[in-house]
Amino acid sequence: MTDAYPWQQTLWEQLAGRAQHAHAYLLHGPKGIGKRDLAERLMARLLCQRPNGTLACGQCKSCHLLKAGSHPDNFMLEPEELDKPIKVDQVRELVAFVAQTAQLGGRKVVMIEPVESMNVNASNALLKSLEEPSGDTVLLLVTHQPSRLLPTIKSRCQQVTCPLPTKAQSHAWLASALPETDQARRDDLLTLSAGSPLLALSLHQQGVHEQRALVTEGVKKLLKQQQSPSQLADAWTAVPLLIVFDWFFDWAQLILRYQLTEDDDELGMADMRKVVQYLAQKSRPAKVLEVQAWILEQRQKVLGKANLNRALLIESLLAHWLQLPTGR
């Protein structure tokens, strides 16, 4: 088990040092700041038979079983497939687990991540276990988007705000994780991840620089009428849909900001500054707001795991984008 991240140390000492624990914690904060790692450390500490202060010992039977992924008193609930919802049948398995007696005679610990992946039926099926878990059971819920949770879920948990790293901490951590990359590239990664260092590392590992270059060059060719929306939809199949919508939403925001301030320092990353400035000068603010609202609406559908036709959605996005300088 790795050490707590520097920005989590105070919170970790508060949580792990408690004599009595809540029956359910809701760990919330932006994606990429180490919430799941914090939950896994706490899970290990709660299950450990011979804890060393705030740390799991790493040597007892419970620690060995947890490390092997075969602890009988631990239940992990997450989507069965990437970007798919947590199903109600999965929650029913969790409910049955909570009702059982702990096999090692200590606590039972459940971790759910990300909680917002549960649909309404799954969330409702969890409520009874959240309110009155049997025996000495602790539920650790991890969410990147607490606003998407049912109020009845949130009200049954002790909510824990996970701290964000400072800018200096983010830069220092990413530099140690990616020593082979230069400062400029790490700066771009932190910009793309809104300052979340673990997300920045994940984006780097999935090839975000290449994805970003593909999308920005495509947008430029689109505006020059060198490529069509359907061609770009085919070319962007490897770029995660949520990332595409995040970037276009951010660009719309930058366009609006520049229209208000005409501040060249507010044009965003270098790869799209000229495009943002051009669209800000050629587009009506009302039209930009209209397109931005449409992007936000579609982004919510993507977040909600709606069954969407990816190619048609990107084509529609690009068709809306083409309307900006024309004002239609």
Beta pairing, strands 24-28 & 74-77: unpaired
Does 115 fall in a domain? yes
Does 146 fall in a domain? yes
One domain for residues 129 and 14: yes
Does 174 fall in a domain? yes
One domain for residues 126 and 181: no
Tokens 């024309």 found at: 326
Cis before 114? omega within 30: yes
Domain that holds residue 180: 167-205
> Do the beta carbons of residue 89 and residue 120 sit within 8 Å?
no
One domain for residues 302 and 287: yes
* Last residue in a domain, options 104, 129, 161: 161
In Å, how far are 42, 124, 125, 126, 313 from 130, measured between CA atoms? Answer: 18, 10, 10, 6, 37
Identify the CATH number of the domain in which residue 129 sits: 3.40.50.300
One domain for residues 145 and 38: yes
Does 103 fall in a domain? yes
One domain for residues 73 and 137: yes
Does 286 fall in a domain? yes
Tell me whether residue 101 is exposed, middle or buried, using C-beta atoms within 10 angstroms of its C-beta: 0 to 12, 13 to 18, 19 or more.
Answer: exposed
One domain for residues 318 and 212: yes
pLDDT per residue of the chain (328 residues) written in tens, 0 to 9: 566 799 999 999 999 999 899 999 999 999 999 999 999 999 999 999 999 999 999 999 999 999 999 999 999 999 988 778 899 999 999 999 999 999 998 999 999 999 999 988 999 999 988 988 877 899 999 999 999 899 999 999 999 999 999 999 999 999 999 999 999 999 999 999 999 999 999 999 999 999 999 999 999 999 999 999 999 999 999 999 999 999 999 999 999 999 999 999 889 999 999 999 999 999 999 999 999 999 999 998 888 777 789 999 999 999 999 999 976 6
One domain for residues 35 and 155: yes
One domain for residues 144 and 14: yes
Does 58 fall in a domain? yes
Kindly report the pTM of this predicted structure: 0.86
Identify the CATH number of the domain in which residue 183 sits: 1.10.8
- Determine the pLDDT at residue 324: 94
Number of domains, the chain: 3
One domain for residues 60 and 155: yes
- Determine the pLDDT at residue 82: 78
One domain for residues 281 and 214: yes
One domain for residues 18 and 144: yes
How far apart, in whole angstroms, are the C-alpha atoms of residue 138 and residue 140?
7
How far apart, in whole angstroms, are the C-alpha atoms of residue 305 and residue 127?
22
Does 1 fall in a domain? no
- Determine the pLDDT at residue 307: 79
How far apart, in whole angstroms, are the C-alpha atoms of residue 163 and residue 123?
26
Does 270 fall in a domain? yes
Identify the CATH number of the domain in which residue 225 sits: 1.20.272
User: Which three-class secondary structure string do you get for the chain?
Assistant: CCCCCHHHHHHHHHHHCCCCCCCEEEEECCCCCCHHHHHHHHHHHHHCCCCECCECCCCCHHHHHHHHCCCCCEEEECCCCCCCCECHHHHHHHHHHHHCCCCCCCCEEEEECCHHHECHHHHHHHHHHHHCCCCCEEEEEEECCHHHCCHHHHHCCEEEECCCCCHHHHHHHHHHHCCCCCHHHHHHHHHHCCCCHHHHHHHHHCCHHHHHHHHHHHHHHHHCCCCCHHHHHHHCCCCCHHHHHHHHHHHHHHHHHHHHHCCHHHCCCHHHHHHHHHHHHHCCHHHHHHHHHHHHHHHHHHHCCCCCCHHHHHHHHHHHHHHHHHCC
* Last residue in a domain, options 104, 126, 161: 161
One domain for residues 11 and 139: yes
* Last residue in a domain, options 161, 196, 229: 161
